[in-house]
Amino acid sequence: MSTQSLPASAEERAHFRHAVVLAGFVLIVQCLISIFYIWSLGNPTPHKVHIIVASRHEGNAGYIANQLNAQTDHPVRATITTNQQWAQQQVKDNKAAGVYVFNPLDKVNDLYYATAQPSGNRDVVEQVGAKVAAKAHTTIRGHDLVPTAAQDKRGIVPFYLVLGLIIGSYLLPTMLGTLTSPRASTWGGVGWRLGVFVIFSAIAGILGAWLARDVLDALNGPFWGLAAVGAGLSLSVSTFAYGLTSLLGPAALAVNLTLFVILGNPSAGGAFGYDLLPGFMHDIGPFLPNGAATDAMRDVAYFHGTDLLRPTLVLLAWFILGLWLVYMVSINTLIGTTPDQVAEIQHEDGFGLVGQFVEHHAPHHSNDSA
C-alpha cells in the first residue's frame, strides 16, 4: 500500500515516529559532542611536554632537568644541551615547546617559546620557567621566537580554518547524495562527482588561504602553501565522505559526524597541543584529517614547512580510502547489468535519479516452446 492511500492520521503517526527517531539521534550527537569536548578541552593536563634546559655546564642543566623530570605525572620531558642556538632552533622548527637558559650567576634567566604553537604549550613553558626561577631565586625574561599573525593571538587560527574546511567538505557529498543519489549508477556518475570535489577543493583551499591570510591578517606563510593544504584536506574529506555515503547512504552522516566532529575536532591539537590532551585523544588526533591538517597548516604558516611528511601521508591515506570505497561500491552496482539496464541508468544518473544496487544475475531466457 502506498503512503498516498494511508489515512492522514496514519501518515502523521509515521512522520511523528520518524521525528522522534531523528530527535533522539540529534540528542545523542549533542551529548557526545559535549562529553568529548569537555573531557578533552575542559581540563588540559600536560604530559611530557618537551622542554630543553640549556646551560654552559651540563651539570647545571642536568640538575634542573632532573628536577623537572621527577615531577609527579611527568608534565614535562626535559632534555639538556650546552648549545643555546641549537636549542632555540628546535623551538623554531616546532620540535620543542620551549628553552630555559639557566645560568646560576645571573639574576635574570632567559625563556624561549613560540606563540605559534598551541597556546597550552606556551602556558606550560611559562609555568615551568616561573617554578625554576623561583627555586633559583632569579627572574625570567621571555622571548617569542615564532610570533603569530596580527589576528592570531593564541595560535589557534590554523585550527579554525581547518574546521571550516572540514565542515564544508563533508557537507558537500552528504547534500549531493540527498539532491541526486547516495551512490552513482555509472562510471560517468562517479567521474563527474569526483570532478566536482576536485574543483570545489581547489576553490575552497584558495578562498580559505585568501580570507585567513590576506583579508583577516590571521595567518602568515606562503599563500599557495596554505591553499595547497586546504585543498588537500578538502579533497581527502569530501572523497572519503562520498565513499562512505555511497556505502551507507544517509547513515553515513552519523559516521562522518563521529569522525570529524565528535572525535576529530577536540583531538586536533588546535586549542591545546597533543601533549595536553587525554591519552585516547592524544593517540588518535594526529591520524585524523582534523589533526593532520591543523599540523600542516600551522607548519606552513609559521614553521617553514619543516614537518609535513606525516600530515601529508595521513590526508593521502583518507583520500585513497575514499576512492577505494567509491570503487568497491561502484563495482557492486554496475556488474551484471544488461545493455538495456546500462542505457536506463546512464540516463537516470545524468539527471540525478536514485541509483540502486542491481541484482547480480545473467539475463533470463525463456525455455518455452512456441
At how many degrees (to 10) do helices 187-209 and 223-248 cross? 150
Q: How confident is the model at residue 8 (pLDDT cuts 50, 70, 90)?
A: low
Q: Cell 555511497 maps to which residue? A: 246
* 85 and 180 together in one domain: no
* 180 and 68 together in one domain: no
Q: Could you give the CA distance from residue 335 to residue 323 in angstroms, rounded to a whole number?
A: 18
The pLDDT > 70 percentage for the chain reads 86
pLDDT computed for residue 327 by the predictor? 86
* 166 and 122 together in one domain: no
pLDDT per position as a tens digit, 67-83? 889 888 889 999 999 99
Residue 224 lies in a domain: yes
Instruction: Please tell me the pTM assigned to this model.
Output: 0.83
- Are 77 and 49 in contact by the 8 Å Cβ rule? The answer is yes
* 167 and 140 together in one domain: no
* 78 and 173 together in one domain: no
Residue 255 lies in a domain: yes
367: number of Cβ within 10 Å = 5
* 310 and 234 together in one domain: yes
Summary mean pLDDT of the chain: 85
Residue 79 lies in a domain: yes
* 109 and 216 together in one domain: no
By residue range, what is the domain housing residue 218? 156-350
Q: Where are the beta strands (DSSP E) in 73-126?
A: 76-81, 98-101, 108-113
Confidence check: pLDDT of 318 > 50: yes
Listed residues 116, 144, 172: the one ending a domain: 144
* 287 and 162 together in one domain: yes
The pLDDT > 90 percentage for the chain reads 50
Q: Could you give the CA distance from residue 13 to residue 351 in angstroms, rounded to a whole number?
A: 33
Domain count for the chain, please give it.
2
Q: Give the DSSP letter string of 259-295.
A: IIIIITTTTSSSSS-GGGS-HHHHHHGGGSHHHHHHH
* 229 and 281 together in one domain: yes
Q: How confident is the model at residue 60 (pLDDT cuts 50, 70, 90)?
A: confident
pLDDT computed for residue 253 by the predictor? 86
Listed residues 121, 144, 167: the one ending a domain: 144
Residue 3 lies in a domain: no
Confidence check: pLDDT of 285 > 90: yes
Q: How distant, in Å, are the alpha carbons of 8, 85, 162 from that of 58? A: 84, 15, 42
Residues contacting residue 161 through CB under 8 Å, at least 6 positions apart: 208, 212, 219, 230, 297
* 258 and 317 together in one domain: yes
Q: Name residue 263's amino acid.
A: L
Listed residues 117, 144, 171: the one ending a domain: 144
pLDDT per position as a tens digit, 183-222? 776 777 788 889 999 999 999 999 999 999 999 999 999 9
Residue 297 lies in a domain: yes
Residue 225 lies in a domain: yes
Q: What is the CATH number of the domain that holds 108?
A: 3.40.190
pLDDT per position as a tens digit, 224-243? 999 999 999 999 999 999 99
Q: Could you give the CA distance from residue 294 to residue 164 in angstroms, rounded to a whole number?
A: 12
Residue 2 lies in a domain: no
* 182 and 304 together in one domain: yes
Residue 43 lies in a domain: no
Of 307 and 8, the structure prediction assigns the larger pLDDT to 307
β-strands 98-101, 108-113 pairing: antiparallel
* 215 and 254 together in one domain: yes
